[in-house]
Structures are given as structure tokens and as C-alpha cells.
Chain A
Amino acid sequence: MTNSLTAWGRWLFVLSFSFYVFLHFGLPEVGVNTYVPKFLPFPYFWNYFTGAALLAFIISAAIGRFDKLAALLLAGYLLLVAVLIHAPRAANPMELLNVFRVANMIGGALMYAGAVARDRRLGFGQPLPA
């Protein structure tokens, strides 16, 4: 019984990122003004590009193609979000909280890549047996 329960974990994890896709595309000004680092040129590009990347992770996980690679890239993206955006502002308690929130998500992405992903092509691992 518990195994069928834990099997829901992957979908809760994956599908919840759809909200961030909505935020990236529905509220681009918030992303650009609050989250894209000021030293980066073309801030709207980075807002939409990372939104598309999150959508690509969701699609990859949903269809089970290149999903280990997608989860590893998600972990890399989240690490960059923590290091480039939240950690420099960590004097603000909410931003410190965000660093730990993102660490939690990195953990989820790596657990997904390590144990849940079905297609390990280009994911630096062997394909799972059929």
C-alpha cells in the first residue's frame, strides 16, 4: 500500500513545477524585476527561457524521454537560482529561507534523476531494463 502511495511522489514533484511555468509566462515583469540577476543582459530572454526549460522538464518527465537528463539539468538550474539569486540576498530572512527551499527542491530533482527517471540516455547512466 505504501509503495503505491510513494509512487505519487514523482507526479506531485513534477506537476507542481507547472505553477512556476505559469509565473514565468504570466508575470514576466515580476521575474525580471525581482529574480533575474542585474548583471545578466536580456532579462526577458532569461525569464522566458527558464520558463521554457521548466516546461521541458515537465514534458520530459511526463513522456519518460530523457527524463534523467532533464532532472539533472533542473537540479543545475535550481543550484544556479540559489547561488546567483537567493544566496547573495540571504541577509534578508525570507531570501535565506528561499535558499533552503531551493536546496529542498534540488534534493527532489536529484532523487528523481537517481531513482525515478525512466530514460537514462545522456543522463550519464545506463538505460533501465525494459
Chain B
Amino acid sequence: MTRITGLGRWFFVLGISIYIALHFTQPDVGVKRFVPGWLPFPYFWNYATGVALLAFIVSALLGKYDKLAGLLLALYILLMALLIHIPNALHGTDPNELVNVFRNFIAMGGALMFAGAYARDPRVVG
């Protein structure tokens, strides 16, 4: 059973991988739907956050700085909820945006559990 629960971290990492593909193959969707309109250089943010997600996956696979990466992933997801999905849900543009807020919180909880219990390298953040 420990082997099965040990797969959890890898399922979590696998679930993040699709977003890298989305950030790099569909930048126009990211810029039009997800980068807040008031941010300058929207394509920069689309690609920078894609690279950040890739950095989390590489860090988790290598077991280097993975606690820091898990915490930064949780922060990124929190910012997504606060800057994108909660404002969209409040403006009522799409009912799925409220679902996205809770999806964000579930993923953020996963990132914090990863950082707290599964990350192997606590450098920088202790």
C-alpha cells in the first residue's frame, strides 16, 4: 500500500504537465483568457509561467530544491485564483470559473502537501 500512496506525488506532477503543453502550444488562449488584462507583456507572462511549471516538474523529478518549487507552485496557483478565476467568477462571465477557483484550491492543497511531506530537498526554505 505504501507503494500505491508513494505514486501520489507522481500523479500530482503528471497532472501539472498538461499545462506546460497548453502554455507553449496555445499561447493565444492563455493571453486572451487567463493573463489579467491590466498586466503588460501578456505573452511574456504566458511563457514565463509555462517555464515556471516546467521548472517545478524538473525540480520534483530530480529531487533538487523541490520543497521550494512546491511552495512556489502553491503561490502561483493562489495568484491564479486571486487574479484570474475569483474576479471572473464575481463578474459572472462563466459559471465554470467558480469551479476553477475550487480546482485551484485543491491543486494548491496538493502542492502544499507535496512541499510539506514529499519534497526531498528543503534547501532555501528550511
Contacts and interface: CB of A to CB of B under 8 A. Distances in A.
Contacts of B71: 2, 5-6
A103 interface: yes
A75 B102 CA distance: 18
B48 interface: no
Contacts, number: 148
Contact of B109 (A3, A14, A101, A125): A14
B50 to A, nearest CB: 15
Contacts of A6: 70-71, 112-113, 115-117
B112 to A, nearest CB: 3
Given A2-B67, A19-B99, A115 B117 contact: yes
B105 interface: yes
The listed residue with most A CB atoms (<10 A of its CB), out of B11, B114, B117, B125, is B11
Interface residues of B, number: 43
A97 B67 CA distance: 26
Contacts of A2: 67, 71, 115-116, 125-126
B61 interface: no
A21 to B, nearest CB: 11
A125 B18 contact: no
A5 B70 CA distance: 12
A111 interface: yes
A7 B74 CA distance: 12
Contact of B110 (A3, A9, A124): A9
Contacts of A96: 18
B116 A97 contact: no
Contact of A103 (B11, B109, B118): B11
Contacts of B109: 8-14, 16, 108
B111 interface: yes
Which 7 pairs across A and B sit closest by C-beta, in order of nearness? Answer: A104-B15, A9-B112, A110-B8, A107-B12, A6-B116, A13-B109, A114-B5
18 contacts: A3-B116, A6-B70, A6-B71, A9-B111, A9-B113, A13-B110, A16-B109, A100-B16, A102-B15, A104-B15, A106-B15, A107-B14, A111-B114, A113-B8, A114-B117, A115-B113, A116-B113, A125-B2
Given A1-B126, A108-B113, A111-B9, 16 more contacts: A2-B126, A5-B112, A6-B115, A6-B117, A9-B115, A13-B113, A104-B106, A108-B109, A109-B8, A110-B4, A110-B8, A111-B5, A111-B8, A114-B6, A115-B113, A115-B117
